[in-house]
Structure 1
Amino acid sequence: MSFSKERPFLLVGAGKMGGAMLSGWMAEGIDPAAIVVNDPHLSEEMDALLKKHGIRHVTTVPEDLTAGIVLVAVKPQMMDQVLPGLKSAVASDTLVLSVAAGTPISKFETFFGKVPICRCMPNTPAMVKRGITAVYPTPAVSAQAKDDVTRLLSSVGKVVWLDSEDQIDLVTGVSGSGPAYVFFLAEALSEAGRQAGLPEEISQELAIATVCGAGELMHQSGEHPSVLRKNVTSPNGTTAAALDVLMHADGLQPVMTEAVAAAVKRARELAG
C-alpha cells in the first residue's frame, strides 16, 4: 500500500461514512499505526474505536505530517473550511480520495494542484465489508495507484471504476443513498405486517430477516434479481398477487425512479 507510519493514511472526517470505512479496515487488519484521524468532533463510539486500536487522533493536521493517502470524508458544505488545513499534508505524490457527494475534482485541484485525485462514492455497508464503492480517477492517478485504491477499498466491499466524473452523481442516487431505501423497505414491510394483524415485534423480525436473507441469496447465487423473483413466484399464488400491486404501472418502479432522480438532482445541486 502507498501509506506507512512515515507517510500515513490521513482520514479527514470520521462521521458515518468515514467511520464505517475505518471500522471495515480495522476488521480487515490494516495497521492502525499507519492511520491518522483528523476530526474535531468525534462521536463517543468513534472515540472508543480509535482508543481500542491505538489510532492517532488530531483535531488539526500537524504541519510536519506528509500523508501517503488523504481520504476526505466531510460534508460538502465544509470543504472550504477543511481543505486549506490539509495543504501542508498533501505532497505532489499524495493520493487524495474524496467520498463527499457533490464536490467536484476541480475543488480539490484548487487547493492541492494536479495531484492524483480519485472521487469515490462508497456506501455504509462498508462497515460490515459488504459495501460497494464507485471510483473516478484523474489522469494523474497511475496504474499502481489505482491498484492501491482497489486493494484499499476492496477490504470493505466491491469496487467499480467509472469512465467519467458525471457518473458519480448517478452512483450517488443508486448505491450511495441506496442502503436507506432498503432500510425503508424493511420498515414498510414490517408496518404492512403489523397493519395486517401481526404483533409489531414479530412483524419487524420477519421483515428484517427477509430483507437480509434475500440480499444474501442475491449475493451468493449470482443470479439476476428478476430470475430470483420469478423463482419464488408461483402462477396465481400469493407472491403473484402481491407483485401485481408492486409491479403495477404506478407501483414501485416509478416511485424508485423518481427517488433516484431526486437524489441525483440534489447531488448536482451540492456541486453548485
Structure 2
Amino acid sequence: MKILMAGCGNMGGAMLSRWTGGELPAITVVDPADIDTPKRVRHVRSITDLKGERYDALIVAVKPQMMEDVLPPYATLLRPGAFALSIAAGVSASRISGLLGGLPVARVMPNLPAACGEGMSAVFAQDGITATQKILVTRLVSATGELAWLEDEGRIDMFTALAGSGPGYVFEIMRTLQEIAEERGFTQAEARKIAVETVAGAGAMARQDERSLEQLRNDVTSPGGTTDAGLTVLRREGGVGKILEATVDAAFDRAVELR
C-alpha cells in the first residue's frame, strides 16, 4: 500500500504526525512548504518529482481555494482501484471526485486536537469506496482520536460547526478565563494553568463519568453557593446558550457557503 499526500498545512501536518507509526503505511508528501516531516515520511518538493510512480490512495490536504488548480494532475499518479481521502473543509466528495477523474472519495472532517490523538472526526464515504478502503480510513482516522461514520454527507457541515470549529470556541473560553484571572491578580503563568486545567479536568471527568452533562453540572452546583451564583449570570436572558447557538449557526452557514 502506497499513500500520497497532497498538501500539508496545519491540519494535514497535525494528522500526519499521528500517521507515522509502524503499523500504518508510509506516506509520501507533496507540498511547497518547507516542513519538518516525521520519520517514515518521504517529502518531495514538486509533483513532477514523482513522474512514473503510482499510488493506491491520495490524501487531499489542499486548501479549498487551490483545489481546481492543484488536484487534477494527481489523478495520473494513482493506480486503478485507488481512492482519495479528503480532509479539506467545505469541499464536497463529488467535487473532489470530479477533479480527480471520477475517483471514489472518502471525506473526513477532523479537528485540531488530532495532533495529540485527542481529535473528534466525522467520516463519509462515497459508494465506490470498498470495504478494505474503509478499513484503512478507519485505521488512519482512529490514530488521531475518535471518529463517527456518517451516512449523509450533508451532516458534515453541522459537524464542522460543532466539532471542527469547536476547539476554537473552547480556546476562546480558556483565553477569557486566563484574562480574567490575570485581571484579578494572578500571574500570567498561574492564570493560564488555572484556565487550561479547569477545562481539561472537566473534560476528563465528563469522558470517564457516564452521567449526563446536566447531572455533572448539578453535582458541582450547591444551591445558593458560588457556582450557582455564577451560573445564574451565565444563563441570564438566554446567556451562554443563545451565544453558543448563534456561534454554531454562523459557522454552519459559512460551511455551507464554502461547499
TM-score, normalised to structure 2, is 0.92
Shift in Å, 1:259: 0.9
Matched ranges for 1:30-49 at <5 A = 30=23, 34-42=26-34, 46-47=35-36, 49=37
Q: Which residue number in structure 1 is paired with residue 74 of structure 2?
A: 86
Q: Work out whether 1:154 is the aligned partner of 2:142.
A: yes
Alpha-carbon distance between aligned partners in 1 of 2:144 and 2:162, rounded to the nearest angstrom = 18
8 Å contact from structure 2 (residues 111, 167) kept in 1: yes
| Aligned counterpart for 1:163 among listed residues 137, 142, 151 | 151
Structure 1 residue 215 displacement after superposition: 1.3
Helix, strand or coil for the counterpart of 1:249? helix
Corresponding residue number in structure 1 for 2:255:
267
The one-letter amino acid paired with 1:92 is P
**Counterparts in 2 of 1:228 and 1:65: CA distance versus 1, 3 Å:** farther
Deviation at 1:31, TM superposition (A): 5.2
- From 38, 44, 53, give the equivalent of 1:65: 53
- Which residue in the other structure is 1:22 paired with? 16
State the SS of the aligned residue for 2:91: coil
Q: CA RMSD in A?
A: 1.7
| Residues matched between the structures, number | 257
- Tell me what 1:102 maps to: 90
Residue number in structure 2 paired with 1:13: 7
Contact kept? 1:114, 1:140, Cα under 8 Å: no
Q: Indicate conservation of the 8 Å contact 1:190/1:203, yes or no.
A: yes
Q: Secondary structure at the match of 1:25?
A: coil
Quick one: distance in 1 between partners of 2:226 and 2:164? 33
What corresponds to 1:203 in structure 2?
Answer: 191
Identity within the alignment, %: 40
Deviation at residue 149 of structure 1 after TM alignment: 1.1
Cα distance, 1:217 vs. partner? 1.5
* Amino acid in the other structure paired with 2:209: S
- Corresponding residue SS for 2:85: strand
Structure 1: tracts of 5 or more residues without a match: none
Q: How far has the Cα of 1:85 moved from its partner?
A: 2.4
The residue matched to 1:68 in structure 2 has which SS? strand
Matched residues in 2 for 1:67 and 1:101: separation?
24
SS in 2 for 1:233: coil
Correspondence for 2:204: 216
Deviation at 1:54, TM superposition (A): 4.6
SS at match of 1:185: helix
CA 1:60–1:248: 2 relative to 1, 3 Å: same
CA shift for structure 1 position 20: 0.5
- Partners of 1:69 and 1:97 within 8 A in 2: yes
Deviations along 1:94-124, one digit per CA (max 9) or x if unpaired, are 1211111111122122222333211110111
- 3-state secondary structure, aligned to 1:36: strand
CA distance in 2, matches of 1:59, 1:222: 48
- Of the structure 1 ranges 229-238 and 59-68, higher mean CA displacement relative to structure 2 is found in 59-68
CA distance in structure 1 between the aligned counterparts of 2:4 and 2:210, rounded to whole angstroms? 36
Residue 14 of structure 1: CA displacement?
1.5
SS in structure 1 of the partner of residue 96 of structure 2: helix
Give unmatched runs, 5+ long, in structure 2: none
Q: State the Cα distance separating 1:251 from its structure 2 match.
A: 0.9
1:174 aligned partner: 162
1:56 has 2:42 as partner: yes
- Alpha-carbon distance, 1:60 to partner: 2.3
Normalising by structure 1, report the TM-score.
0.88
Tell me the distance in 1 between the aligned counterparts of 2:10 and 2:185: 36
